[in-house]
A and B are shown apart, each in its own frame.
Chain A
Amino acid sequence: MKPTTQGLVAAVLGAVVLRLALTDEYLHYVQAWMKVPLVLAGLALLGMGIRPALGRTPLEGRVPRTSWLLLLPTLIVFAVAPPPLGAFIAERRAPQAPSTLKAPTIRPVSDGGRPLDLAVEEFVWGAAQTDDPMSLHDRTVRLRGFVSADKAGHWYITALVIYCCAADVAVERVKVADGPSAPPRDSWVSATGTLVDGTGTDADIPATLAVTDVVEIPTPENPYS
């Protein structure tokens, strides 16, 4: 790799990282707190690469051929623009071992007659507790998530939890009881309903929602929880 190319490869990667961080597209890949480290890393790469790329500083020293691979992330971001993970990985991963969700730090309480807004993973946690600490029984809840399906033809309100980056994704999902037909796969919905008694406490019987109302909503900026 020529010295000017070395500079160009680093500077372009820096520019891509900076653009991902500033356009919030980085939320497809990593958690929100990574924004500042990504901006700093992008600026540092630009700073390292730009002078050699313009031929201002003659670099010595060869780099191995593998360094060419650093162009690959840039090409993929440009040409493929990978979408956030969705139904494909959720359906592949769904039959995995039961999740170990933590108790929500704040237990949401309902407010008069309005449905209780819960995250999918909060609802799954609440349904799994035999003593029903969130008193989910007979309470109307509203969940937001995207649509995934299983081979038997049921559909699910789904959330993807990431801990560090999208490669360590975990799936949480709530089965929709027979009733409303499934919206398009991967579309985001807000579904109102109640927990079906006797579901969610056993790993073999997923938490199930008897849905009364489904509304399609726009994809949120941060697609993971």
Chain B
Amino acid sequence: MSTTTVAPRRRLSQTTLVALLLLASAAGQHWLRPLVRSDSFQTWCTMFVAVVVQSTPFLVGGVLLSAAISRFLSEPLLRRVIPRNPVLAVPVAGIAGLGLPGCECAAVPVSEGLMRRGLPPAAALTFLLAAPAINPGVIVSTAVAFPNNHMMVVARVAASLVTAVLVGWWCVARGDRLGMVRRAAVHDHDRGFLDGALHDFLHAGGFLVIGAMTAAAVNTFVPRTWLDGVAGQAVLGVLVLALFAFIAALCSESDAFVAASLTAFSDVARLTFLVVGPAMDIKLAAMESGQFGTRFARQFVPVVVCVAIGTAVVAGKVLL
């Protein structure tokens, strides 16, 4: 990694060295490009940059919104809208998820910003789970992808909302045992608006890159044919699509189209794919462990995945 190349030198500052490295890669592209002609590596690069490019506007929007919440949303106002009791605040926060159009990457910094303003962590996490899954953009794209099956949209929204609320209540019950790391001290009120946003962006962005690297590798190298072998089996089909949703880390606005193309699978399995993906995937898991600490993530990630699978199966049996 670049740290090793820049750490030990003394005469040139770290910033100058990074600038020189970037200039060298730009100036040397003529010689570098023939070295990387491998098809699979180039495909990975395209997919990796694609995920980063697609996510950047949402992440930038998220950190700016988070900075705006920190600065302009007063605690008394938040108290009036959200019930003081966390058990009641959780469902309110879940329904509020309808209002943030954007995908997962925006939701992580926004929920952190809401916590900084005194929203109970459980409610902020509920919002984090609900917003990418039930916002208007996702509802529209799911309806377009399943034109003859409107119950899929209803089941997706219902199962995602229930998942978010159940996990929120679980967080209320766990309380301090969640072991959430909060970086509240860094964000004092005197800091500039843009400086706070920059800090949040760098913090979340590195983890986003880790998630993008993994997702690009999965989408490049894992052949889709291995999915077909288990499509006919009810239980295994559900579990495999849940795993696929986790590792492929598709945007919640586009995953419905991929689900629609997995025609060999049962509707319940495809609903599971749509409920697990926005709630938890490898990109979100990386970002959340960066934001809230690994001890928290080790509990939160598996609980979210299990609750999402359970809710999706129940919703699928009842509604589809």
- Residues of A in contact with B (beta carbons under 8 Å apart): 1-2, 4-10, 12-13, 17, 20, 26, 28-30, 34, 37-38, 40-41, 44-45, 47-49, 51-53, 57, 59-61, 63-85, 88-89, 92-93, 95-100, 102, 163-170
**B147 interface neighbour in A81, A102, A164, A169, Cβ under 8 Å:** A102
How distant is the Cα of A53 from the Cα of B126 in the complex, in angstroms? 36
Question: How far apart are A82's CB and chain B's nearest CB, in angstroms?
Answer: 4
**B47 interface neighbour in A4, A99, A166, Cβ under 8 Å:** A166
> Quick check: A71 and B50 within 8 Å, CB to CB?
no
How distant is the Cα of A99 from the Cα of B41 in the complex, in angstroms? 26
Q: Does chain A have a CB within 8 A of B100?
A: no
> Quick check: B263 and A98 within 8 Å, CB to CB?
yes
Closest partner residue, chain A, to B259 (CB atom):
A100
How distant is the Cα of A164 from the Cα of B53 in the complex, in angstroms? 11
> Quick check: A97 and B45 within 8 Å, CB to CB?
no
> Quick check: A95 and B225 within 8 Å, CB to CB?
yes
How distant is the Cα of A97 from the Cα of B227 in the complex, in angstroms? 9
Q: With a 10 A CB-CB cut-off, give which of B46, B199, B253, B260 has the most chain A CB atoms.
A: B46
Also in contact, A100 and B45, with CB within 8 A (given A8-B15, A34-B57, A63-B203): no
Closest partner residue, chain A, to B198 (CB atom):
A48
Also in contact, A73 and B48, with CB within 8 A (given A9-B18, A49-B198, A59-B199): yes
Q: Does chain A have a CB within 8 A of B3?
A: yes
> Quick check: B45 and A80 within 8 Å, CB to CB?
yes
Within 8 A of A (CB), among B180-227: 186, 191-192, 194-195, 197-199, 201-203, 205-207, 209-210, 213, 215-216, 219-220, 223-225, 227
> Quick check: A89 and B194 within 8 Å, CB to CB?
no
> Quick check: B50 and A67 within 8 Å, CB to CB?
no
**A74 interface neighbour in B15, B22, B48, B206, Cβ under 8 Å:** B22
**B201 interface neighbour in A10, A57, A165, Cβ under 8 Å:** A10
Q: Does chain A have a CB within 8 A of B143?
A: no
Binds A, one of B29-37, B107-115, B167-175, B237-245: B29-37
Q: How large is the interface on B (under 10, 10 to 19, 20 to 34, 35 or more residues)?
A: 35 or more
Residues of B within 8 A of A6 (CB): 198-199, 202
> Quick check: A59 and B46 within 8 Å, CB to CB?
no
Closest partner residue, chain A, to B192 (CB atom):
A57
How distant is the Cα of A1 from the Cα of B14 in the complex, in angstroms? 8
Also in contact, A76 and B50, with CB within 8 A (given A52-B195, A67-B206): no
Residues of B within 8 A of A85 (CB): 43, 46-47
> Quick check: A30 and B22 within 8 Å, CB to CB?
no
How distant is the Cα of A168 from the Cα of B273 in the complex, in angstroms? 14
Closest partner residue, chain A, to B222 (CB atom):
A92
Residues of A within 8 A of B2 (CB): 68, 71
Residues of B within 8 A of A73 (CB): 48-49, 52-53, 209
> Quick check: B202 and A70 within 8 Å, CB to CB?
yes
> Quick check: B202 and A9 within 8 Å, CB to CB?
yes
> Quick check: A78 and B26 within 8 Å, CB to CB?
yes
Also in contact, A38 and B56, with CB within 8 A (given A72-B209, A168-B257, A170-B257): yes
How distant is the Cα of A99 from the Cα of B13 in the complex, in angstroms? 54
> Quick check: B194 and A68 within 8 Å, CB to CB?
no
> Quick check: A65 and B49 within 8 Å, CB to CB?
no
> Quick check: B56 and A41 within 8 Å, CB to CB?
yes
Closest partner residue, chain A, to B224 (CB atom):
A96
Q: Does chain A have a CB within 8 A of B40?
A: yes
Q: Does chain A have a CB within 8 A of B51?
A: yes
Q: Does chain A have a CB within 8 A of B8?
A: no
Question: How far apart are B128's CB and chain A's nearest CB, in angstroms?
Answer: 19
Q: List 26 A-B contacts (CB under 8 A).
A: A1-B14, A1-B202, A6-B202, A7-B198, A10-B198, A29-B46, A34-B57, A37-B61, A44-B60, A45-B60, A48-B194, A57-B192, A65-B3, A66-B209, A67-B203, A68-B1, A68-B3, A71-B21, A73-B49, A78-B22, A79-B32, A84-B46, A85-B47, A98-B261, A164-B54, A165-B51
